[in-house]
Structure 1
Amino acid sequence: MKAVVMRDKQLLVDTLKAPTPAAGEVLVKTLACGICGSDLHMFHHCEHVLGNFKRSGIPVDFDAGQDVVFGHEFCGEILDHGPGSDKQLKVGTRVCSMPFIFNRNGFEHVGFSNGYPGGYGEQMLLAEGLLVPVPGDLPAHLAALTEPMSVAVHAVNRARLEGDEVPIVIGCGPIGLAMIAVLKSRGIGPVVASDFSPKRRALAEKMGADLVVNPAEQSPYQSWVEVAAPAGYDIKGPQAMYGLGPQPKPCVIFECVGIPGLIQQVLQSAPPRSRLMVVGVCMESDRIEPMVGIAKEMNISFAYGYNGEEFARTLYDLAEQKFDASPLITSTVGLDGVAEAFAALSKPDEQAKVMITFE
């Protein structure tokens, strides 16, 4: 099979031996696969990322000196079943799956493994028990957005919104954009979105954000005041600090950037008693001043990944058009265009989600 291989710190198109499904596994033909920010991080900073995973207890590891085929945001078609399989889903069925394999050797993450190639290749091995059939005629490139959209669904679920909140989305990359779509689908808002990139601000509007700001020109927190607070409300005033007088609607901030200093910036700038949901993956050490958070009675939570129910529900929500994720995809490429797409994705003004297609 043809695949894009990470080898010697390069992305190369090569022909590899097709994988063979073991017990409990299925062989699928890749139909579409998204390029994830995690893939970019892994390509540019592989040893550092794997070290962070180990310290965090994330069971993802592989030998960076051997071939790796990335790709964990995918849609495929069943070609064959391993021995002893249930075969509840027939050959030819289009499927999505969480990119996990549990076998006698332990845990493998499809796309971050030496033994389980991901969706940057023409074929993959997936766990039969984790397959979710693609409903109806949902196109493969949209079904492949299930994985990143599930990350946003999980973060919104973790925020435990009650419906009266006015959220702020910091960073309008793929996850921030997905966050906007999920919030709007649940009737939460108005949604304030913030990004330095004009192209990503335009995408935020397409995804349904009600107020989109350039933080170089306007504080997103002041913009939030305009739509969530009573007249005369001062974020930094003593009445706001001590909860006296007319109060604003609850503020929930989704941090979708993941760079050092941003959590501290939110603590300093957000209104008192805000809730911060950290979704952006910062790969560096960071520092905060707890006194700021204590004085403002801030809540900080973190969100990572998704569960099986959220993954399956997200696929069906895409099929039922509960939200429109199509603006996320800003470009499509074949395998020969992946290396160039990685270069383009390193510049946030260029792209949001690049989709590899095989059809």
Structure 2
Amino acid sequence: MSQIPETMQAVVCHGPGDYRLETRPVPRPGPGEVLVQVIAAGICAGDVKCFQGTPMFWGDVNRKAYAETDVIPGHEFVGRVVALGEGAGDLHGLAVGDVAVSEQIVPCGECRFCREGNYWMCQPHDLYGFHRVTQGSWAEYMVYPAKSRNYRLPEGMDPRHGVFVEPLGCSIHAVNRGNIGFNDVVVISGCGALGLGMVAAARMKNPAKLIALDLNPHRLELARRCGADIVMNPAETDVVQAIRDLTGGYGCDVYIEATGAGKSVEQGLLAIRKLGTFVEFSVFKDPVTVDWTIIGDSKELNIHGAHLSPNTYPHAIRMIAEGRLPMEDILTHSLPLSRFHEGIDIAADGRSSLKVILEPGGVA
């Protein structure tokens, strides 16, 4: 511990719209804990919406607050192990110097969901970057707790690319929830960073047709590079009719929603065939209203949610290491920690960015 500084720079959440760069003590790892020096930390749509005060995180008359104050944000990250608490090396299979990632949720291991093996739905639901007990990655150093689920990156993999393991893991889980078959026509709506990960993961399922939708032509081109057979821009094409035309009038078998826009939900319900599967992953800024008659009486749809990235990190690491995604085109912006406000603005705007990352070690 002698070479590790006493203090560090960290972004601290004091409430919606009130995030500040502060000097904080470098945490020291306790038994079973891992201290890492953060290499890169992502800014995702959820981080932006938390910063903006979205009710999902801060509550309203219908729901309790989820996010807490006095918390370092950041749940997408990769770090280099610099110290291990007692027993942590054996517990996590890590050594000082390893580059490692940690699943977004730190499960309690004791609630009903954890006991039944559904750890990603853990009732306390401590996620990095939202709760005080699981401080996040927008800092120079962070701790992986004793109950965290950690993975070492393979030699030869670009350490910065590890920042994309968490979002790609979420993408893989969403694709798995679609139960894609070989004869299926699959639609991925939204080709942001998560949507591109879904395209790449769905391609590995080898469906009959893989269709990607987005309003941004550059993102559609990246979707082709990730494995989409057909790309469509809803601003230029009646995608519901086009999907029906491609499927003999029936509609797609699987529709995965990854835009966070209510219009995409309605579009999917119209584009999907009877007895089809609709997967919802996005975090929405506002409530979305749809005609539930379509879901029930009209089409008898299978509606699946997708949350976090259970049991997908090894697959995500392999996909990145094998070069199945154009990572340098996905990691569009790299900023030092001091420019986190700028990073939030770029991610919120979305027109020029896919994945915005902070590099606490400093970038130009």
TM (norm. structure 2) is 0.82
Gaps of 5+ in 1: 241-247
Per mean C-alpha deviation after superposition, the further-off stretch among 318-327 and 252-261 is 318-327
Q: Which residue in the other structure is 2:350 paired with? A: 348
Residue identity in the other structure for 1:4: V
1:338 corresponds to which residue? Answer: 340
Tell me the residue number matched to 1:96.
101
160-169 or 280-289: which moved more?
280-289
Distance across 2 between alignment mates of 1:116 and 1:101 = 8
SS at match of 1:332: strand
1:5 aligns with 2:12: yes
Bigger shift: residues 88-97 or 315-324: 315-324
Aligned length: 335
- 1:207-222 superposed matches below 5 A: 207-222=226-241
The letter of the residue matching 2:225 is: K
Quote how far apart the aligned CAs of 1:292 are: 2.4
**Which residue of 281, 300, 305 maps to 1:302?**
305
Contact 2:188 2:256 (8 Å CA) reproduced? yes
Report what 1:244 is aligned to: none
Q: 2:54·2:285 contact (CA, 8 Å) conserved in 1?
A: no
Displacement of 1:55 in angstroms is: 5.0
Structure-1-length-normalised TM-score: 0.84
Displacement after TM superposition at 1:358 (Å): 4.0
Structure 1 residues 110 and 292, CA gap change in structure 2 (3 angstroms): closer
| Aligned equivalent of 2:212, options 169, 177, 193 | 193
Distance in structure 2 (CA, Å) of the matches to 1:194 and 1:102 = 34
Per-residue deviation, residues 130-162 of structure 1 (Å, max 9, x unmatched): 221111111122111110000111011111112
Q: Is the 8 A contact 1:75 1:144 kept in 2?
A: yes
Aligned to 1:251: 253
User: In the alignment, is residue 26 of structure 1 matched against residue 34 of structure 2?
Assistant: yes
> 1:224, 1:325 → 2: CA distance?
29
Q: Residues 2 and 14 of structure 1 are in contact (CA less than 8 Å); yes or no, is this contact kept in structure 2?
A: yes
**Larger mean Cα displacement after TM superposition, 69-78 or 185-194:** 185-194
Determine if contact 1:62/1:114 at 8 Å carries over to the other structure. Answer: no
Instruction: Choose which of 261, 264, 282 in structure 2 pairs with 1:280.
Output: 282
RMSD across aligned positions (CA) = 2.7
Instruction: Summarize the Cα distance change of 1:80–1:157 in structure 2 as closer, same or farther, 3 Å threshold.
Output: same
Q: Which amino acid aligns with 1:82?
A: G
Secondary structure at the counterpart of residue 39 of structure 2: strand
Code of the aligned partner of 2:145? A
Name the CA distance, whole Å, in 2 between partners of 1:208 and 1:331. Answer: 23
Q: Distance in 1 between matches of 2:37 and 2:54?
A: 27
**Structure 2 segments unaligned to the other structure (5+ residues):** 1-7, 111-123
Give the Cα separation in 2 of the matches to 1:86 and 1:336: 32
For 2:185 and 2:107, how far apart are their aligned partners in 1? 40
Q: Which amino acid aligns with 2:10?
A: A
Distance 1:155 1:94 in 2: 26
1:163 counterpart residue number:
182
Contact 1:28 1:79 in 2 (8 A): yes
* Counterpart in the other structure of 2:194: 175
Taking a change above 3 Å as real, the CA distance of residues 23 and 273 of structure 1, as seen in their structure-2 partners, is same
Give the partner amino acid of 1:306. Answer: S
Report the CA distance shift for 1:291/1:75 in structure 2 as closer, same or farther (over 3 A): same
For residues 244-303 of structure 1, what are the alpha-carbon distances to aligned partners after superposition, in whole Å with 9 as ceiling and x for unaligned?
xxxx7x521111122335433322343433321111222433323232232233322111
In 2, Cα distance between equivalents of 1:313 and 1:192: 22
Q: Output one character per residue of 1:204-262: Cα deviation in whole Å (capped at 9) or x when no partner.
A: 23333222221122022333345x43xxx3x3xxxx5xxxxxxx7x5211111223354
Aligned equivalents of 1:315, 1:100: Cα separation in 2:
17
Q: Which residue of 2 aligns with 1:150?
A: 169
User: 1: distance between equivalents of 2:325 and 2:304?
Assistant: 25
Q: Which amino acid aligns with 1:345?
A: A
Amino acid at match of 1:220: V
Quick one: which of 55, 71, 75 aligns to 1:72? 75
- For 2:83, the aligned partner's letter is D
Shift of 1:193: 1.4
Distance 2:96 2:266 in 1: 51
Deviation at 1:165, TM superposition (A): 1.1
CA contact (8 A) 2:241 2:271 kept: no
Conserved? CA contact 1:68–1:117, under 8 Å: yes
Distance 1:158 1:270 in 2: 16
Distance 1:173 1:207 in 2: 12
**Alpha-carbon distance change, 127 to 302 in structure 1, aligned in 2, over 3 angstroms:** same
CA pair 298-325 structure 1, distance change in 2 beyond 3 A: farther
Q: Which residue of 2 aligns with 1:127?
A: 145
Whether the 8 Å CA contact 1:150–1:305 is kept in 2: the answer is: yes
Alpha carbons 2:34, 2:145 under 8 Å: kept: yes
- After superposing the two structures, state which structure 1 stretch, 349-358 or 269-278, moved more: 269-278
The answer for the alignment partner of 2:117 in structure 1 is none
Partner SS for 2:209: coil
